Amino acid sequence: MVLSAFSFGRKWGNGEVLLKEALMAAEAKGIEVRFYRICDYEVHNCKTCNVGAFCPGVREVEKCIYKDDTPFLVEEFLNSDGILMAAPVYALTPNSLFFAFRDRVFGPKMDIARELVGLPMPSWAKGRFKARPGGLISVGGALTEHWTSMGLMSLYSGTFSAQTEVVDHINAYAIADPGAATTRPDWLKRAALLGENVADALLTGDHRWRGDEGGICPCCHLNHLTMVPGNKQVICVVCSIYGDVHIEDGNLTFDWPDTEEYRKDNRLTVQGKKEHLLEIRRCIAEYEPLKEKAMEDLQKYKDYNACEIMSPSRAAKKAAQP
């Protein structure tokens, strides 16, 4: 069993400390562990290539226009049996390195539900798509969770396509300066427990939630909800299940019916991802008869270019060319 850990913070930073504490605990249970400090790799941001509905990497990872370490990291992920991810919080969310990794390593090409809607599986991934247990660690320097509120929910977005089933997560805060995590035995102990929980999920094949009790949502165990005006429904921002909200004695309470109606769009399940792919198909089908007219109308916006400010670095490179 191989547990791969991806760190998106600085070298020897607090996220790395907590991640390695988790890895040591998993290794003590007999799990083979691997650590990837992503700032040491070349991972370019996604360019959102205009090639059909999905990126060329769906057909072949190496077809991406950027020749960097992404194909290697895709292979390392596919060779793993479980994963950990840790990222620092910048302005409520993880840093941009995490999002570049998410978009290039995962995304549509790694969608485990493709076969369920009749889309071909990429040849490079056949037989290697599977549900993997995972753990998430968000790290922030604020003294409370108020300024780290979107850390874990953003990390969850890196788990959807490949069906990483989160069994534990930590929102660590009040550790800002390098090395500060080593002074917090509470966070170190909690990180070790996370490593043990993911290891146990690997060893048993049981990917049930093993983290702290709490969190309003029964699926992602977070507290991020959006209201639906005009009725009593709420939706989890992370996993997209529906619930009903009630006020009893001045307190909010929530019901989360485990029914098709309320949970068919659950992003944490293969069925939810299937619904999403079918939704995209419907969107494409509705646009198809309008496509030719849209391309004609687009010319108006292509021609409106006097206001465009070009890249000075690209202009310099172009001027330097013989």
Counting the structural domains of the chain, the total is 2
The answer to whether position 317 is within a domain reads no
Q: Are residues 64 and 128 in the same domain?
A: yes
Each residue of 181-238: pLDDT tens digit? 999 999 999 999 999 999 999 999 999 999 998 899 999 999 999 998 888 999 999 9
Tell whether the model's pLDDT for residue 59 goes beyond 80.
no
Q: Are residues 130 and 32 in the same domain?
A: yes
CA distances 39 to 10, 155, 202, 319, Å, are 7, 17, 27, 32
Q: Are residues 118 and 191 in the same domain?
A: yes
What does the pLDDT average to over 129-150? 93
Structural tokens at position 122: 């990429």
Domain that holds residue 236: 225-304
pTM for the predicted model, two decimal places = 0.92
Q: Are residues 196 and 280 in the same domain?
A: no
Query: What integer pLDDT is reported at residue 174 of this predicted model?
Result: 94
What does the pLDDT average to over 292-303? 96
The answer to whether position 170 is within a domain reads yes
* Per-residue DSSP letter, 85: E
CATH number assigned to the domain comprising residue 26: 3.40.50.360
CB 267 within 8 A of CB 240: yes
Query: What integer pLDDT is reported at residue 52 of this predicted model?
Result: 53
The answer to whether position 98 is within a domain reads yes
The answer to whether position 133 is within a domain reads yes
- Could you tell me the sign of the dihedral formed by the alpha carbons of 196, 201, 202, 204, in that order? positive
Q: Are residues 233 and 109 in the same domain?
A: no
User: Across the chain, what does the average pLDDT equal?
Assistant: 92
Query: What integer pLDDT is reported at residue 53 of this predicted model?
Result: 53
